[in-house]
Amino acid sequence: MNRRTILASTGVSLVTPLVGCLDGPTNADDGSDDEDERTVNNTAETSDETYDQCDLVSIDYEWLPEGIRDEVDTALEAGQYETERLRFVEAVDPDHSFLVVDDTPYDPRVEIDGTTQTLELEQATEIKAAEPRRIRISNADDRDHDVHIELANGGAIVDETVTVQSGDEREIDATDRFGTYELTAEAQTGHEDMDTFEFSVDDSHFDGAVQVTADEIIATQSVADLEPCSWDTRR
C-alpha cells in the first residue's frame, strides 16, 4: 500500500459527502458559503484542464493553479474535499509530496472509492524525503584514516566513526528530515584536521561529501538551482 493514497473497496463509502458538493442538493434560499463551495466543485468537475505532476517533495500552496487552490481551501476549511475528478492529485503526488500553506506543512491523503475521490490534509510536524540524504567519506591520502562524522540540530542525529582505507570511500546515511544541520567531520588520525559545514536537507540540496587529504579534511554538499513547480496547463 502506498504511504498516503488509500484505495477503498468499490461500493463502500469511507467518508460522509460534504454539504454543497457537486452531487449534493442546491439551496436556493442560502446565499452563503455553500454556494461558493458548489461553484468550486462545479468548476473542478467541468474543466477540461489537465496538469503535469510536480516531482518536488515540498510544494508551496502559492505555486498551485487557482482551481487546485480552491480544492485545497475547501479541504482545509471543511475537513475534506470530495469530487469525481480531483485536480490536486493530477498536479501533486500525495505519496511523495507535502503541501506547505503559510509555512505549515500538510500531509495530503487521498481516498478513492469507486468514482469518488476525497482529499484530506493532515498537519505535519516535519517534511521528509522519500530516502535519506547520504554522506560519502573518501580518502585521498596514502594512509588509512579514522573519520568521525557528527550531524546535529539541537542534538546529534548522526554520531559515527568510520575507517576509510587509502584510495577508498565509505557512505553513511544522514537524515531524511528537511532542515538545516551542522555537519562536523574530523580526522582522528594523521593531521587530525576538522571541518564544520552547514548541511541542508531539502529539494535543492543532495548528498554530502567529506574528503580526507594528506593535510586536511573538507566537507561539501551537492546543490542544484531549482525553480518552483510551474504547471503546464493543457486543453
CATH 2.60.40.2890 domain span(s) along the chain: 134-223
How far apart CA 205 and CA 165 sit, in angstroms, is 28
Cβ 91 vs Cβ 51: under 8 Å: yes
The pLDDT of residue 51: 87
- Tally the C-alpha atoms within 13 A of residue 127's C-alpha that lie toward its C-beta: 24
Predicted TM-score (pTM) of the model is 0.76
Show Cβ contacts of residue 103 under 8 Å, excluding neighbours closer than 6 positions: none
Query: Is pLDDT larger for residue 19 or for residue 165?
Result: 165
Question: Which residues, 6 or more positions from 199, have their beta carbon under 8 angstroms from its beta carbon?
Answer: 151, 174, 180, 181, 182, 183, 205, 208, 219, 221
Half-sphere exposure of 111 (CA within 13 A, CB side): 17
What local confidence, expressed as pLDDT, does residue 48 receive? 65
Residue 146: pLDDT over 80: yes
Nine cell digits for residue 23: 452531487
Return the amino acid letter for 84.
E
pLDDT at 37 over 60: no
Share of the chain above pLDDT 90, in %: 73
Give 230's pLDDT tier (boundaries 50, 70, 90): confident
CA–CA dist 232, 212 (Å, integer)? 45
User: What's the mean pLDDT in 136-162?
Assistant: 97
Q: How far apart are CA 233 and CA 12, in angstroms?
A: 33
Mean pLDDT confidence for 135-155: 97
Q: What is 134-223's CATH topology?
A: Immunoglobulin-like (2.60.40)
- CA separation for the pair 192, 109 (Å, rounded): 49
For the ranges 20-24, 65-69, 179-183, which has the lowest average pLDDT? 20-24
Can you give the pLDDT at residue 47? 55
Q: Which residue has the higher pLDDT, 44 or 66?
A: 66
- In this predicted structure, the answer to whether residue 140 has a pLDDT above a threshold of 80 is yes
pLDDT score of 21: 28
Please tell me the distance from the alpha carbon of residue 26 to that of residue 12, in angstroms, as a whole number: 25
The pLDDT value recorded for residue 50 is 80
Cell of 197: 559545514
> CB-based contacts of 70: which residues, under 8 Å, 6+ apart?
40, 43, 44
**CA–CA gap between residue 12 and residue 2 (Å, rounded):** 20
Answer yes or no: is pLDDT of 44 > 90.
no
